[in-house]
C-alpha cells in the first residue's frame, strides 16, 4: 500500500502532509506524557520487527500479494501514540533508503498506515474494554487489524482517485471500489497474522503487550 511519487498530485501530497503532521504532533505529546523511560528498547525492537515483517509478502489470490502492515500489532505492543510514531519511522526509512513509498507521498503513506493503524487501537478498546476474557480481546484485535487495512485502502483509493493521473481511468468511482475489493481480502491476512502474534504474546509474554495495559487503564503499574 506504499504510494509511489508518481501516483499523487502536489495539492493532495501537501494536504496529506498537513493532516499527518497534526496527528504526529498529537501523538508525540500524548506519548511524552504517557510513557516511562524504559519504553525506548521496546519501541526499537517493535519497529525493527515491523520493518522485517513488511519485507515478507504473502500471496493472497488472483495474482496479488500482501504483507503485514502491522499498525494494530504495534498499537497492542506500544499503545496508539507510540505505535503511530514507531510506524512513521519504519515508513520514513523505507522511503529514504529503499524507495518503497515516495518522498512527496510520505504524508499520505503515514496517514494510511501509521495513523489509521495506530488509531485502530480504539476499535480493540471498543470491543474488549469491559472484558477480562481473552476471547473479546482477540476478536477486537482481529476486527481492528482488518479495518486498519480496509480503511487505509479507502483513504488510499480517495487520494489516488482525486489525483489527475487517475482521472482518465475514472477517478474515485473506480479507484475506491478497486482498492477496497483487494484489501478486503488482504485485510484477512493482516487480521490472521496480527491475531496470532497478539494471542501468542498474550499467552507467553503478557508483560510485553504494554498497549494492552494502556487499554485496561493500568499504564501506571510496572509494565515495561
What is the closest distance, in whole angstroms, from the C-beta atom of residue 35 to other proteins in the complex?
A: 5
What is the closest distance, in whole angstroms, from the C-beta atom of residue 150 to other proteins in the complex?
A: 10
Cβ distance to other proteins smaller for residue 82 or 127 = 82
Cβ distance to other proteins smaller for residue 167 or 199 = 167
Cβ distance to other proteins smaller for residue 54 or 127 = 54
Cβ distance to other proteins smaller for residue 41 or 217 = 41
Report how far Cα 50 is from the mean position of its chain's Cα atoms. 10
Report how far Cα 15 is from the mean position of its chain's Cα atoms. 20
What is the closest distance, in whole angstroms, from the C-beta atom of residue 151 to other proteins in the complex?
A: 13
**Distance between CA atoms of 144 and 139, rounded to whole angstroms?**
8
What is the closest distance, in whole angstroms, from the C-beta atom of residue 56 to other proteins in the complex?
A: 5
**Distance between CA atoms of 106 and 92, rounded to whole angstroms?**
7
Cα–Cα distances (Å) from 211 to 84, 149, 189, 218, in that order, read 12, 19, 22, 10
Cβ distance to other proteins smaller for residue 6 or 131 = 6
User: Residue 63 contacts by C-beta under 8 Å, 6 or more apart in sequence?
Assistant: none
What is the closest distance, in whole angstroms, from the C-beta atom of residue 32 to other proteins in the complex?
A: 6
Amino acid at each position: 500500500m506504499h504510494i509511489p511519487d508518481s501516483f499523487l498530485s502536489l495539492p493532495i501530497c501537501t494536504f496529506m502532509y498537513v493532516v499527518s503532521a497534526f496527528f504526529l504532533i498529537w501523538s508525540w505529546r500524548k506519548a511524552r506524557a504517557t510513557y516511562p523511560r524504559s519504553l525506548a528498547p521496546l519501541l526499537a525492537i517493535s519497529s525493527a520487527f515491523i520493518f522485517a515483517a513488511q519485507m515478507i509478502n504473502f500471496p493472497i489470490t488472483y495474482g496479488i500479494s500482501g504483507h503485514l502492515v502491522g499498525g494494530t500489532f504495534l498499537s497492542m505492543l506500544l499503545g496508539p501514540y507510540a505505535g503511530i510514531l514507531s510506524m512513521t519511522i519504519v515508513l520514513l526509512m523505507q522511503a529514504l533508503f529503499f524507495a518503497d513509498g515516495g518522498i512527496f507521498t510520505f504524508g499520505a503513506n503515514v496517514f494510511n498506515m501509521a495513523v489509521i493503524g495506530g488509531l485502530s487501537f480504539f476499535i480493540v478498546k471498543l470491543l474488549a474494554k469491559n472484558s477480562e476474557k481473552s476471547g473479546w480481546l482477540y476478536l477486537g484485535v482481529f476486527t481492528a487489524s482488518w479495518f486498519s487495512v480496509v480503511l487505509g485502502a479507502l483513504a488510499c483509493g480517495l487520494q489516488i482517485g482525486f489525483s489527475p493521473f487517475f482521472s482518465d481511468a475514472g477517478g474515485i468511482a473506480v479507484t475506491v471500489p478497486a482498492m477496497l475489493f483487494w484489501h478486503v481480502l488482504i485485510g484477512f491476512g493482516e487480521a490472521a497474522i496480527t491475531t496470532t502474534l497478539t494471542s501468542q504474546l498474550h499467552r507467553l509474554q503478557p508483560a510485553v503487550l504494554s498497549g494492552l495495559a494502556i487499554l485496561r487503564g493500568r499504564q501506571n503499574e510496572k509494565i515495561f
